[in-house]
Structure 1
Amino acid sequence: MTIDQIEAQMKARALNFVGLGALVKFDLGGGDVLFIDGRATPPTVGRQGAAPDTTLTISGDNLMKLADGKLAPTLAFMTGKLKVSGNMGIALKLANMLED
């Protein structure tokens, strides 16, 4: 899956991130990054962002599995498919939003 496809799918789900209240960076590897700005109304998804509150390192394929409910966030974290740096509380809140 390309970064363009991932970005399009995350933009389609942007309203799921209402109430996040934080800027989250997804480091997809290979220099590809996506940001979810949950501070904006409505939330935005893009490739540009300031200093994030939380950074999640995950492959694009695994990100889409998380978003589609095919990979549990806790399992991804415990198996090393997802790494979190920054505010863990925001990561947990985002995980709940992705699961809905």
Structure 2
Amino acid sequence: MSDVVNEAVRVLSEKLNGGFAGSAKFVIEGEGAIMLDADGVRAGDDDADVTLTASADVFQQILEGDLNPTTAFMSGKLSVDGNMGMAMQLGSVLS
């Protein structure tokens, strides 16, 4: 597992402060994937209700609060596949 994924798991765990209603997957291009669900946050590549994909740089900017997830999506830096409502819920948690 990459250092990028490990750090993202740590930061997401702090931001979510517990489990997540539903399931989401963050795919960090070239690094791996992170799962969020009722069990919390972990590295993994399981099926999810929504999958968000971006480069490591974009994910880092989102996690640090330097890039709004909605702005990243609208500018094509973040792709979303699946339940858009759940993606919006995640966006508000990450902002």
| TM-score (norm. length: structure 2) | 0.82
Which residue of the partner structure matches residue 93 of structure 2?
A: 97
Letter in 2 for 1:67: L
Tell me how far 1:31 sits from its aligned partner.
Answer: 5.4
Unaligned runs of 5+ in 1: none
Letter in 1 for 2:77: K
Tell me how far 1:94 sits from its aligned partner.
Answer: 0.5
- Secondary structure of 2:41 counterpart: strand
In structure 1, what is the Cα distance between the partners aligned to 2:44 and 2:31?
A: 12
Report % sequence identity: 31
The answer to whether the Cα contact below 8 Å between 1:6 and 1:60 also exists between their aligned partners in 2 is no
| TM-score (norm. length: structure 1) | 0.78
- Secondary structure of 2:28 counterpart: strand
In structure 1, what is the Cα distance between the partners aligned to 2:73 and 2:89?
A: 14
Q: 4+ residue runs of structure 1 moved beyond 4 angstroms?
A: none
Number of aligned residue pairs? 93
Which residue of the partner structure matches residue 30 of structure 1?
A: 30
